[in-house]
Amino acid sequence: MDFKAILMGFGFAVVWASAFTTTRIIVTDAPPLTALVIRFGLSAAVAIPLARAMGQNWHLTRSEWRTVILFGLCQNALYLGFSWVAMQYVEASVSSIIASMMPLVVAFLGWLLFAERLRPMAVAGLVAGVAGVALIMGVRLQHGLHVPGVILCLIGMVALTFATLAARGAGGSRNMMMIVGLQMAVGAVALVIPAVLMEWGRPVEWSAGLIWAFAYTVLAPGIGATWLWFRLVNRVGAVRAATFHFLSPIFGVAIAAAMLGERFGASDVIGALIVAAGILMVQLARIPTAATPQPSMAAARAIEGRD
């Protein structure tokens, strides 16, 4: 994994983790599914014209349309839908911790479905990361964590796993911003009926804080982080990209503590260190050995001048 990919991964992790805090702000003043429909609609309204201005179009390949539909349904409608509903009852840091468990599931499905090989060090690193997450979550459970909310977050995390795998085919597209905008539109359409059925009549308490949270969520996590995620998956693969989600507990807990006053105790610090060690193990496992007879895909692309 090259330095640029690491920077992309860290940037994505910071922006992605910050979304949990702004989401918590939003769902305290607005019905979650209705708020998501608004967020996705605004994101699509910004991203699609921007893509057109960049010379992109919606004449996508079959693989790209597959990514638009699956990512729009799994990541936007299901993962964010379940997570936003859950965050009415659980803290922002809890939701970010649960979502960061996703890489191990991605690694397992990558091996099971796509025959992706993982070195023992990489497996150990992923396990260490999950152990760090479990330490943080274990202490939170002792402080009266809302279990139904946790279950909703877990269901969303599984959906996010499939969204990550669905992003495989779209990373090299010339219509990347258009893909981002269209999958936002898919998420908005998918949640309209659930929002009407479950939240009709619930008021939205508009305020300066809510407007700020909406604006940030649309532009940063909604458009920026999604576009960056596609580029990262294309550069390093779904499994390697997913390891950066293990940074989410660190950033998610820290940002929530700084902005919302949520808990940030010794177990959070120790768990974050264990997670960081797991990330290091995973990254070291990606370094090619001298005995490898064939160059890696990244090396081949570098030789061809495409990196």
Domain boundaries, the chain: 3-288
Q: What is the pLDDT of residue 235?
A: 83
> What per-residue confidence (pLDDT) applies to 294?
44
CA distances from 191 to 84, 199, 201, 294 (A): 12, 11, 16, 47
CA-CA distance, 285 to 96, in Å (whole number)? 25
Q: What local confidence, expressed as pLDDT, does residue 304 receive?
A: 36
Q: Give the pLDDT band (50/70/90) at residue 204.
A: confident
Residue 222's CB: how many other CB atoms inside 10 A? 27
Q: Residue 307: is its pLDDT beyond 50?
A: no
Does residue 225 carry a pLDDT above 90? no
Task: Classify residue 117 as exposed, middle or buried by CB count within 10 Å of its CB (0-12, 13-18, 19+).
Answer: exposed
Predicted pLDDT at 238 = 66
Q: Residue 45: name the closest of 141, 195, 139, 182 by CA.
A: 182
- The answer to whether the beta carbons of residues 79 and 157 sit under 8 Å apart is yes
Look-up of token digits 């009852």: 89
- Enter the DSSP assignment of 219: I
**pLDDT confidence of 15, banded at 50, 70, 90?**
very high
Identify the three-state secondary structure at position 182. helix
Kindly state the tokens that stand for 58.
Answer: 């919606």
For the stretch 109-157, pLDDT in tens is: 777 777 777 788 878 887 888 888 888 888 878 877 888 999 999 999 8
Predicted confidence (pLDDT) per residue in 146-193, tens digit: 889 999 999 998 888 887 776 655 556 688 889 889 999 999 999 999
